[in-house]
Structure 1
Amino acid sequence: MVNKIVKQSLTRKWGVALAFCALTLAAQAQKPNWLNMDLQKDSVFGISTEKAYNELLKGKKSTKVLVAVIDSGIDTAHEDLKQVLWVNMKEKKGKAGKDDDRNKYTDDINGWSFLGSAKGNVAYDNLELTRLVREGRAKFGDASKMPSDTTGLAKYKELEEAFEQKHAMAQMQYKSVQSFTAVVDSVIAGTGKPAPTLTDLQAYQPKNQPEARMKGILEQQLQRYPDVVAFKEKELKPALDHFKEEAEYQLNVDFDPRAIVGDDYKNVNEKYYGTADVTGPEADHGTHVAGIIGAVRNNAIGVDGVADNVAIMAVRAVPNGDERDKDVANAIRYAVDNGAKVINMSFGKPYSPEKKAVDEAVKYAMSKDVLMIHAAGNDGLNIDSVASFYPSRYYLDGKGEAAAWIEVGASSPSDDENLVASFSNYGKKNVDVFAPGVAIYSSTPGSKYDYHDGTSMAAPVVTGLAALIRSYYPKLTAIQVKDIILKSVVKVNHPVMVVADRMPRSVSMTDVCNTGGVVNAYNALKLAATY
């Protein structure tokens, strides 16, 4: 679930793209720390973290809480994170190559990666749909050599059809972004400037209707960027790169990077493989998530995380593509076995062929009093109505669900009909709460900082809150902490806009999540004190 919201917005009709850009710009017009601000005091729909620290936590002692971030990797050298990274004291830093704690994960100083080996790291991988189609083609692909056992043939045909549709859609989106870029280039050429500024744009007379519409979009974007070329580099280039990645890796049945890991991939029970390199080749997403949770507070650099006394464990299991169930199950078990009390999972996919293995790992986490926080996804869908979205709290055997699990949608800073982020999945049954997820400013690799959007950003807000509660009230169980977070939301009493059946609709907040509100640190800590 790597952050691709702006990329997606560019492939829609420009009117929708313009609306989303306006929403993002409105968020960024606020202070970078808006997610921690208070609605009444600051007029932005943050979670009142600063109010909680100032009014409820001064002088109180806390206990360090270990939080696992299962993600794409974390930049362990980041200036605002290196002080809060978990350090496995049983592993001796000076003895590289020796498994000092004998847990069969050699040199796991800050965590572990299930996406690599001494030979290198997996950067890109297929979508799960691609992997399933590849398996199906190997079994059923040649009609003249159809196996005698045709079990699964009907399902394979469904998957093949879904794959072809997705492949065609990706090609169409790629052409759409190319067309968008061509109009931008036309506007740039028309201004006669190598890097037109907002003033240059305002003075430019468009030659046609596409240029006129593009001028409006660019004028809004240049409230955020110094010139059009900077906008292209930051927004259009990543979008074009994304669709290239789709074609070459994610939707390419001939691409399979797993050999570099060196495990027996078909053995879902295998646990001991991987590498101690928890940064990996692409740590942007995980580094951003980690900063939201626990970047060092009040150090006069970067950003302030939600929680002030955490150790962050990096568990790398999410490539650029779909995560694999085996890796997710092992990542959860690794986090639990090493003491994590909260696990952040900002990833998801629509197929889970080894869900049973993931379920067993989730059950294990439940037995060890671990709270799991999961991002609801960025497809703008009612996930009560879709067939599946994984990982999920519901067990495949139909015997219950994970009790200590919170599903999180993304909200904007606006206390109006635009509160629910246009990209956020929602669901009265399957989404528990909303949290800030639009234009969230946090850490990125190389000791840098940037804005990202997504439920991937909303989930760590809740993870940080859960860690904060467990830190100041360490006797509370995972289920009690979940109960506190859900009961203490700020209720939203006005209508909000969502997309249903491809049309914008005005609905109640209780129609988009079961609590009908946005998480709030101040309310939660007040409530925690009564338990």
Structure 2
Amino acid sequence: MKNLYILLPFLFFQCKNYNYISKQEKVIPIKNLSEKKLKIWYHKDIIDDSIPGISLDKAYNTILKDKKGKDIIVAVIDMQIDINHEDLKNNIWRNKKEVFNNKKDDDKNGYIDDVNGWNFLGSEKGETTKFVNYEYTRILKKYNSIYNNTENKINIDSSFYLNYKKAEKKYLERYAYAIEDTSFIKTEYKDKRNAEKTLAKYFKDKTYSVKDLDSLKQLYPKDSVLQMHISWVDYYMKNDFTDDYFEDYKLKGIERLNKLLNFDYNDRLLIGDDSDDLSDTKYGNPIVNSDVGFFDHGTLMAGIIAANRNNDIGSKGIYSNIKIMPICVASFGDEHDKDIALGIRYAVDNGAKIINMSFGKEFSLYKNWVFDAFKYAEKNNVLIISSAGNSSYNLNDYNELYPNDNEDNGDEVSDNFLMVGASNYLANENLFVAISNYGNSDVDVFAPGSKIFTTSSKKKKYKFVTGTSASAAVTSGIAALIYSYYPNLTASEIKHIIMDSGVEYTFPVKLTRNDSIKTPFNKLSKSGKIVNAYNALIMADSISNTK
């Protein structure tokens, strides 16, 4: 890079007639943010639009104008994906070496009929395991007999025993929460039904809008019961808390007790493999979309990365030349390390250049299997992008988050792994998304992760999502964009381009919604920056041309 100059409050770089901002030191009041613009806010630019997005529109209108990149495969290791969604169906990976449903492994990759990807949670009969144990449940199941035996306590491994006790503590906390949460949702659902019965007396067809409720509220200001029920239903309607939502919530609450926290529940019984044996690879099925009405997360992430940009419906992904490879390892509960490790290897072996992993857990039974998979991906020049998690943890202090590329904030096992935190659309003290994990020892970079509009497998087909999962998906889209136009770059180079080319925001932000003590945003990650597609492409061009 050359021709560095400063123009406060911004720091600019100039390269090949393109100027880009690398530092933002002062807050910027947001201009008009219409509902339409909110749906693509993260594509916007901090200077042109007063929105701390990734400058994607700017990149398309300048750097990428009249240019064409190559197709890139992005593996989404997640829940199932709605491969027939109107905004995704043309951007789903197709294994051209495999013949559909002929019950043969045509390409000899070890996976029969894997036309679109692989479901590691599926059975030979086409079923899918919807609920699995938490990892701490698995740890207790595996080691209770050892650590509860007083004779064995003399020879126990102190470091693992400490992990076992942490798992035990977490299990007890979660069990108590599950009891309380199940009771809460039953009561809440009952209250909803009672409130709707009250309103039915005033609306014969039982249909009404928020505006209708406001009018009714003004007509009967002294009816305290009616006022209360109007407020409840108004809240449910504004937050889309439908009967389906409550039924789904109730089911997950009950199954949390019956399966996720149940020592007697074997979540691999349906699948038929040994989850403690990495060499046992003959399991799963090729159906990556059998239960998309129940599983939504994978579809949400796929849309952020690669929803059709040209059909003028729904949402717009980062890049149109992406082919999404669905790899299913996630359901309700914690992912098995075995599935994660084999999923990464499947992605690498079948041509993915970017792997998006928007999930996480606080314990890991076989983290070395995952570490080895990271190294395998690095050896084959594949970049892995992972979410930082939504627990508001400072990972400098609490480093127990998996998957991760290090232990206890030590040396990284490979240089092809990016962990991403979540940023907001306000360039002020609220730039940090309060639920996001953070920490400049572990979190590499931040990316937009608040109110991201994307594809959904639910009835409405689209929704807004918030969290670091979305941030990881945004970053995966940028990585794919870079790889597409500069295929001679390595995974490590793209990782560092993304980190180094972002916009550094130095003003103080709140870590919680009510924080009085603020922290400079650039202290919350290794890079101190928010990813920026425009900047990254300029830097990628410079590095690519010197190779």
Confirm whether residue 263 of structure 1 aligns to residue 273 of structure 2. Answer: yes
Contact 1:113 1:317 in 2 (8 A): yes
Q: Which residue of 2 aligns with 1:96?
A: 102
The gaps in structure 1 that reach 5 residues or longer are: 1-25
Quick one: which of 457, 469, 476 aligns to 1:463? 476
Instruction: Say if 1:27 and 1:438, in contact at 8 Å, map to a contact too.
Output: no
State the identity as a percent: 37
1:235 and 1:45 map into 2 onto residues whose CA distance is 32
Is the 8 Å Cα contact of residues 75 and 446 (structure 1) preserved in structure 2? no
* Residue number in structure 2 paired with 1:295: 307
* Partner Cα distance (2:393, 2:465) in 1: 20
- With 328-337 and 200-209 compared, the bigger mean Cα shift is at 200-209
SS in 1 for 2:512: strand
AA of the residue aligned to 1:251: L
Instruction: Indicate whether 1:160 and 2:168 are aligned.
Output: yes
Residue of structure 2 equivalent to 1:525: 537
**In 2, Cα distance between equivalents of 1:509 and 1:220:** 33
Q: Does 1:369 align with 2:381?
A: yes
Name the CA distance, whole Å, in 2 between partners of 1:353 and 1:73: 24
Separation (CA, whole Å) in 2 of partners of 1:28 and 1:420: 21
CA shift, 1:503, in A, is 6.0
Establish whether residue 252 from structure 1 lines up as the match of residue 262 from structure 2: yes
- Equivalent position of 2:343 in the other structure: 331
The 2-side partners of 1:43 and 1:253 are apart by 52
The answer on whether the counterparts of 1:67 and 1:340 sit within 8 Å (CA) in structure 2 is yes
Task: For 1:254 and 1:208, locate their aligned partners in 2 and report how far apart those are by CA, in whole Å.
Answer: 48
Letter matched to residue 277 of structure 2: N
Equivalent in the alignment of 2:443: 431
Structure 1 counterpart of 2:491, one-letter code: A
Q: Tell me the amino acid that sits aligned with residue 369 of structure 1.
A: N
* Inter-partner Cα distance in structure 2 for 1:321 and 1:88: 30
Could you tell me whether the CA contact under 8 Å between 2:409 and 2:442 is conserved in 1? no
C-alpha RMSD over aligned residues: 3.1
What does residue 496 of structure 2 align with?
483
Deviations 1:346-398 (A, max 9, x none): 01101011011111111111111111100001111112211410010116996
- The CA distance in 1 between the partners of 2:86 and 2:286, in whole Å, is 20
Q: CA deviation at 1:440?
A: 1.5
In the superposition, the TM-score normalised over structure 1's length comes to 0.85
CA distance in 2, matches of 1:237, 1:418: 34
Describe the shift of the 1:511–1:263 C-alpha distance in structure 2 as closer, same or farther (beyond 3 A): same
Say which SS state the counterpart of residue 499 (structure 1) adopts: coil
**1:518, distance to aligned residue in structure 2 (A):** 1.6
Give the C-alpha shift of residue 326 in structure 1: 0.5
- Offset, 1:467: 0.2
- Match of 2:509? 496
Alignment coverage as a number of residue pairs: 497
Map 1:76-225 onto structure 2 (within 5 A).
76-93=83-100, 96-119=102-125, 120-140=127-147, 155-178=163-186, 193=202, 194=206, 197-199=209-211, 200-201=213-214, 203=218, 205=221, 215=231, 224=238
Residue type matched to 1:472 in 2?
Y
Report the alpha carbon displacement of residue 214 of structure 1 after superposing the two structures with TM.
9.4
Q: Using a 3 Å threshold, how does the CA distance of structure 1 residues 399 and 523 change in structure 2: closer, same or farther? A: closer
Q: Secondary structure at the match of 1:231?
A: coil
Aligned to 1:4: none
Matched, 1:65 2:78: no
Larger gyration radius, structure 1 or structure 2: 2
Structure 1 residues 66 and 155: alpha-carbon distance in aligned structure 2, compared to 1, 3 A threshold = closer
Q: Which residue of 2 aligns with 1:22?
A: none
Other structure's SS at 1:117 match: coil
- Say whether 1:516 aligns with 2:524: no
Whole-Å Cα distance in 2 between the matches of residues 189 and 27 of structure 1? 36
SS at match of 1:410: strand
Is there any run of 5+ residues in structure 2 with no aligned partner, and where? 1-32
